[in-house]
Amino acid sequence: MLPASEIAVRQPEPAPEPAAGSPPGNVPDRAWAVLLTVLGLGVVVTAALIVAELTRIGAPALGHAGVKDFVTNTTWDPTRDLFGAAPYIYGTLVTSGVALLVALPISVGLALFLTEMAPPALRSIVSFPIALLAGIPSVVYGLWGLFVLVPILRNPIEPFLSRTLGFLPLFQGAPIGLGYLAAGVILAIMILPTITSISIEVLQTVPGSLREAALALGATRWEAIRLAVVPYARAGIVGATMLGLGRALGETMAVTMVIGNSPTIRASLFAPGYSLPAVIANEFAEAAGDMHTSALAALGLILFAVTVGLNIAARILVRMSRRGPARVAA
């Protein structure tokens, strides 16, 4: 969930800084300034602690297997101290990929509909259910996924897909329901509000004059969107997508409940798999020994590094697109 407040444009405030001019001998003011600075630094300390703790706990396993082997090995057997993260990385990427493929067109379409096509009143009405969708706890999504989505996928959706698209390896195999596809679909539902709300924000920064110019030249509304609005907002929409992807990669409970929890690599989307957050959730509390705990923390470290990288890139893109025309749009 990403409340709009987190990514809202910060108002530039060229306010004078009276604090800087406070008299040097004023002890309570000094103390107050120090207290605020310490609390502010608390945020940075928190971040540093996260990195330090993950590295501290995860290092033994990474050292034991070697980083490259840890990432590429496919066998995960804690009883033999064999830790290969490949099935989990694969499952995380596949489910997030499915989620993006499903969620992106719907979210962008929805954002375009609400900003460009629908009457403004509808936008304020629809913003409530979108916020609601973002506020539902992930374990409730998991519950719904397990008892509603999975049976629907098992029959009729997966048999239908294998009848029509069964020539692709993606859609072969037994329609179990639990698996990559179920996890991908539930992730799509969960990241939809993120991508939609940020895209709406980005689209609202597109100057009206661009639209008007296109319309005045005789473009239909869709042509104005395609030729004037979307190119301007492209970088921001890409950023919104990356934030959604970051959320999908780290989502734990809903995926754990519907992915099937099988540490294997399969081409078929119908097959049960596993993901990084899911294996941490399932095994951490009952880890068989320190090396197992360490290996799980190393998985967490990988997850952390990837999501932080994505977040930084995404936020830079969203900021750039707010600042002006799509300079960065390739």
Residues 138-197 that bind another protein (CB under 8 A): 138-144, 146-148, 189, 192, 196
Name 302's Cβ contacts closer than 8 Å, sequence gap at least 6.
Answer: 71, 85, 89, 276
Using the minimum distance from each CB to another protein, give the nearer residue, 242 or 268.
242
Rounded to whole angstroms, the Cα distance separating 93 from 271 reads 15
**Residue 106 lies near another protein (rule: CB under 8 A):** yes
Q: Name the one range near another protein by CB under 8 A: 66-74, 104-112, 155-163, 173-181.
A: 104-112
Using the minimum distance from each CB to another protein, give the nearer residue, 252 or 268.
252
Query: Alpha-carbon dihedral of residues 54, 60, 61, 65, nearest 10 degrees?
Result: 140
Name 211's Cβ contacts closer than 8 Å, sequence gap at least 6.
Answer: 116, 224, 228, 229
**Residue 24 lies near another protein (rule: CB under 8 A):** no
Using the minimum distance from each CB to another protein, give the nearer residue, 65 or 224.
224
Q: Which of 63, 174, 223, 289 binds another protein (CB under 8 A)?
A: 223
Rounded to whole angstroms, the Cα distance separating 242 from 135 reads 20
Task: Identify residues 115-134 at the interface with another protein (CB under 8 A).
Answer: 117-118, 126, 129-130, 132-133
Q: Which of 32, 74, 160, 204 binds another protein (CB under 8 A)?
A: 32
**Least CB distance from residue 87 to another protein, whole Å?**
17
Using the minimum distance from each CB to another protein, give the nearer residue, 72 or 220.
220
Determine the residue type at 301.
L
Question: Is the bond leading into 156 cis (omega within 30 degrees of zero)?
Answer: yes
Rounded to whole angstroms, the Cα distance separating 288 from 290 reads 7
Are 21 and 29 spatial neighbours (Cβ–Cβ below 8 Å)?
no
Neighbour tally for 168: CB within 10 Å:
13
Q: What are the start-end ranges of the E strands in the chain?
A: 76-77, 82-83
Using the minimum distance from each CB to another protein, give the nearer residue, 83 or 268.
83
Q: Which of 308, 320, 328, 329 binds another protein (CB under 8 A)?
A: 308
Using the minimum distance from each CB to another protein, give the nearer residue, 38 or 168.
38
**Least CB distance from residue 39 to another protein, whole Å?**
3
Q: Which of 84, 239, 246, 260 binds another protein (CB under 8 A)?
A: 246
**Least CB distance from residue 273 to another protein, whole Å?**
17
For residue 138, give Cα distances in angstroms to 117, 134, 229, 273: 31, 9, 34, 19
What SS3 class is residue 269? coil
Q: Which of 28, 119, 120, 208 binds another protein (CB under 8 A)?
A: 28
- Give bridge partners of residue 77 from the DSSP assignment: 82
**Residue 247 lies near another protein (rule: CB under 8 A):** yes
DSSP letter at 168 equals: S
**Least CB distance from residue 20 to another protein, whole Å?**
8
Using the minimum distance from each CB to another protein, give the nearer residue, 168 or 288.
288
